[in-house]
Structure 1
């Protein structure tokens, strides 16, 4: 897949507009992916199911499973958002092959670098991911989970039509012993 360029990003104050390129990650992107993931896991413990202590020692190549099958992975895709040579956001879509659940996809690992949050990167990733998912003839539903209380993420997902179908109290236990609930959301992929 070739990249999709967007120029509708909201620039930081007193800056010129920035061009964002969206494309599926490949093997050569895994180092950038790991760098972004490590930074996000370290800075936002309550936002992710994975923990920084377990993930930091991993090799970049250990994330190969997040790539699309043509790139040697097992995920449906991982979409990357680039500004120049910098990976500033990612979103992975997973899909099971088991017959009874082949119609369901799962969005996981949505992250946008702190310096680029609030500028439309997440919206661009989600919009393009949903476009890709709607092209998959077997898919009917997409799900995701979000840490309860993450109002910006919830607002983004709702703006695309996701609705909450469940709430899991104490879904995550943080390093300090606090618990974080997860809201479970879904979207019908209307044709």
Structure 2
């Protein structure tokens, strides 16, 4: 195997120095769960709450990423794995810049999420299982995906004919079938404070 022609160049400003001027630590809040569980709604609510606290954030949404960076990938297991791998690299760069990155991806495979944790660095990664029963997700069905999958129009739909592997040891589990959005958002803010991302007064 030939040696890579590329050399890693360390920046003069460290990740710690970038974070020091922001008033909060960097983090990646990884929201995972079935389609319709409430990931995107909760991600937007959390970003709004953090923005009000003058935190530096960026939200990565699954559909948006598929429109640009990862539009060349399909929904096969290999395509899903590469989708999450690329997103993990982007998250690491944003965390190095000192941001709180919020993601909303089904990310159905545990190994892929564990790989992102390793890429980002465990101390900066919060895995959040956004949980709701499949029946509830199908009733919500905001994109009409379950109906299309049940009708045979879509193959490889997570929860229908493709598996979802729930996190084994997430930092937080949020049941959106039993808690409202303000309550879920508050739980996320508390988790960020406990994790050391936010000053305790901002929770």
TM-score (norm 1): 0.32
Structure number with the higher helix fraction is 2
Query: Which structure has the larger Rg?
Result: 2
